[in-house]
Every structure is written in C-alpha cells, then in structure tokens.
Amino acid sequence: MNARARIAGAVALVLASVAGTGAVVANSAEVQRTSPGPHVSAEHGRYLVRAGDCMSCHTADNGAPFAGGRAVPTPFGTIYSTNITPDRSTGIGDWSEDDFYRAMHQGIARDGHHLYPAFPYPWFTRISRDDVRDIKAYLGTRPAVRAVNRAPELPWPLSVRGAMAVWNGMYLHEGVYGSDPTKSAAWNRGAYLVRGLGHCGACHGDKNFAGAVDKDHPLAGGFAEHMYAPALTGGKRDGLGQWSEQDIVEYLGSGRNAIATAGGAMAEVVEQSTQYLSEADRRAIAVYLKSLPAPGTERQASVGDGTMKRGAALYLDNCEACHMRGGTGQSGAFPPLRNSSAVQAAEPDTLIAAILQGDRVPATKADQTALAMPAFADKLDDREIAQLTTYIRNAWGNHAGSVDAGDVHDMRKQLRKAGH
C-alpha cells in the first residue's frame, strides 16, 4: 500500500517537474489545508523554520542567528552553512521567492551553482510552495548580517559543484509531497513533516557510499557524524514498536518519555525544533511513524557470562547511581536503559560515544535542566567500555549486538579527529 502510494507520488512528481509550477501547486492541495492560506505569513514561516531546525545549522557557535558559518562535518569533508539573513550582498536579501524555491526544491542557488546535499534539499523538495514562501518571508524579517560564506573543504571531484548535477540525477527525487488519499489527514501531515521539512531521514536513514539515503528504507536507522540515529520504524527492540503515539508526542515535546531520553544531536533537535511544534503536529508525526512497519529480521546475539559479569560490576560502579539498579532510570530525571530502543539500536555507536564523551538531555520549557552525564573516557579503558556497553545492551531483558574493544578504540579516534 505504502509502496504503491510512493510510486504514485513519484510518478506525479515526475510529471510535476516536467509540467512546471502549476502542477506542483495542484499536487500540494492537501498540504495547503494545513498552511494558513494564500497570504504570505512570516509568523507561519517562523513556525516552519523551527520545524525545519534551520537555525541549528545556519548559526555558528556564538554567531549571529542565521548568518551561517557553522561547520557541518560530512564523511567527504567539511561544509560550512551559509548566510540566510536578508543581507543583500552576503545573505539572501536579493533572492526572489522563485530563487529561494529553486534552492529548497532543486538545491540550486540564485547564481545557478549547485548546493551540496548537506543542505537537506532532498527532503525540502517535498515542502509546498506556500510553506517555502512563508519560510522566506520569515527569514526576511530577521536582522541582516554581513557574513561572507565560507567555501567547503572537499576533495576533488566533489569540490566541483557541477558534480552535484550528477548526484541529483541519481539520487534527488524532486517534487512536493503528494498526499495519500487512502490515509488520514493526520498521517499525511505527519508524512509531510517527517519526509519534508523535518528531514528526519537525514540522520535516521541509511546512507549509501554517496551519502544518499536509501529511498526504500529512509527511516531504518543510520549513521550521523559519529552517532547512530536509531530506527524510527516499527521494530520492538530497536525501533518505535513499543512506543505509543503518546510516547512520541511527549518525546518530541520534552525530549523524554518513560522509554527513552533524547541525547546527542537529538537533544539539540528537541531543544531547537520539535518542542516548538504544536501538539497536533507532534501527534501527526506520531501517527505517521507508528504506521511504519517493523523490519523483517532482528539480529540475535549471544554474550558470554564472563563479559556480562564484568559489565555488571562496571555498571554498579559507574552508572547505577543515576540509572539505578535494573536500568530503570529515574522518572523525570535520568533516562532508563532497560527496554530502551536507543540502547538496543542496531549499531552501538551512540552509546559508546555517550560513555566516552558524556551526554546531556535537552532543556525544554517543561524540563529546564539539561541534565548531563559525565565523560568516562579517562576513567574506563576500551575493554571496560566494551564490556559495559555490551552489558547494558543485553541486561534486564535488553538484547542487542555485543561490542568489542576495537569498536571503542575506533570511536575514540573518531571523536578525537572531530575535536570532541
């Protein structure tokens, strides 16, 4: 059903891109209902800019909002986000609505150069024209900041922007989201947000050698910098199979629920973006995510008693004070580890990184403290962290692949390289 809807959508999108703007607008009729109407609304744009978490990437540490310059590390090299303030010479003050729409939709800047897909246009291409217009209108209300864009640090041939035309030809599935008439309005709204503005798959999707997300498994879990963003599909252990819709609504609002707490990059996403979504939109996302099927096979692992025993001792000494006996966590304070989909994710990278460098939960309106976990990189060695991680992933009914000292060693190297 889902697959067929996608194919139908893709066909429509191809037609749309052939037929031009008119068809695209017609195709987004469903989406327009959730937008405020034909009049440009900067206020609505502000909401959308939050939903798209634009500020996170387009603001450097201690930099002016939206003035760009934040380093975005990719497996291929470092790309710097651009100035999207209305400054006429260095920002997008001179861009027309059509220029902005083309950038969002096709990844092509005003002067015709290709943008790199670290800017998530492969997702933003799903956004309706009205919404793109409102986003531009809101950005137009921000203070103009003069900040010259910094060139990306990429090796040849990626340094040649024209190469992106080839990439787009292979991987960009251009076109506004087409609603599925067999699904509810909430489902469609959720799909529109997740697959479009929310660009969830940029982290939670499996990437190929070219950095493109596998279009058949866009939310099956994936690597993002040195973390592993867990699957958002229906897997019982490592996906959202055990989460209720309400669990998802709570998580997006406050960064925590009875099952898991956001950490790492997701803590920032909750702080900057999802906590500002309306409850209706958070619920729409939940409806859509809960409709995703579980992957077919679940990985089995068996862990030796010796490792579990040593892991248990390490857990008692280092973790139990906050995460409590049995990995229950402390409701309202520290995350549970038992039954946690993040802990049992297909890949252990996030967990290893959290133990090595520490982590923190998001500070939100409801929960003001970014409760932090200390770093254990100096206290535990690779073997100990491997044993501990394996234990946490397999204690109290948890079940996930084991970790060896080499994995921890590699992560240390990665984090050092990234300057963490």
Partner 1 sequence: MARRLPPVDVVLVGFGWTAAIIAQELTEAGVQVLALERGEFRDTVPDFATDTIQDELRYAVRKQIFESPERETLTFRNSAEQTALPMRHLGSFLPAAGVGGAGVHWNGQCWRFLPSDFEIRSQVEQRYGKGFIPDGMNLQDWGVTYDELEPHYDRFEYLCGVSGQAGNLGGVKQAGGNPFEGPRKRDYPLPPLQRSASTTLFDKAAREAGFDPFPCPAANASKPYRNPLGVQMGQCTYCGFCEWFGCGNYSKASPQTTLLPVLLKKDNFRFRTRCNVTRVNTDSTGRQATGVTYVDIDGNQFEQPAGMVVLCAFAQHNVHLLLLSRIGAPYDPKTGLGVVGRNYAYQITSAVDVFQKERLNPFMGAGALGQGVDNFNGENFDHGPLGFIGGGYIALWNTGGRPILQHQLPKEAPKWGSGWKQAMHDNYLTSTSIATHGSVMSYRSNYVDLDPTWRDDYGNPLLRLTFDYQPNEHKMSDYLTDQATKIAQAIPGATHHAKKREGHYSIVPYQTTHNTGGAAMGDDPRTSVVNRYLQSWDVPNLWVMGASVFPQNAGYNPTGTVGALTFWAAEAMKRYLKNPGPLVTT
Query: Contact residues for partner 1 (CB under 8 A)?
Result: 318, 321-322, 330-334, 358, 360, 363, 365-376, 378-379
**235 with 295: CB under 8 angstroms?**
yes
Nearest-angstrom CA–CA distance, 229 and 213: 13
> Peptide bond preceding 374: is omega within 30 degrees of 0, i.e. cis?
no
Smallest separation (angstroms) from partner 1 to the CB of 26 = 44
Smallest separation (angstroms) from partner 1 to the CB of 367 = 6
**348 with 357: CB under 8 angstroms?**
no
**What's the Cα-to-Cα distance from 127 to each of 17, 27, 69, 124, 329, rounded to whole Å?**
14, 11, 25, 5, 39
Read out DSSP for 209-277?
A: TTS-B-TTSTTS-EEETTEEEPP-SS-TTTSSTT--HHHHHHHHHHSB-SS-B--HHHHHHHHHTGGGS
Smallest separation (angstroms) from partner 1 to the CB of 213 = 34
Smallest separation (angstroms) from partner 1 to the CB of 330 = 4
Between 83 and 357, whose beta carbon lies closer to partner 1?
357
Smallest separation (angstroms) from partner 1 to the CB of 358 = 6
Between 300 and 368, whose beta carbon lies closer to partner 1?
368
**What's the Cα-to-Cα distance from 46 to each of 52, 187, 214, 231, rounded to whole Å?**
10, 23, 30, 29
Smallest separation (angstroms) from partner 1 to the CB of 73 = 23
Between 300 and 325, whose beta carbon lies closer to partner 1?
325
Tokens (6 digits) for 295:
């992957």
Between 132 and 319, whose beta carbon lies closer to partner 1?
319
Between 298 and 381, whose beta carbon lies closer to partner 1?
381
Amino acid at 91: G
Between 86 and 362, whose beta carbon lies closer to partner 1?
362
Nearest-angstrom CA–CA distance, 92 and 98: 12
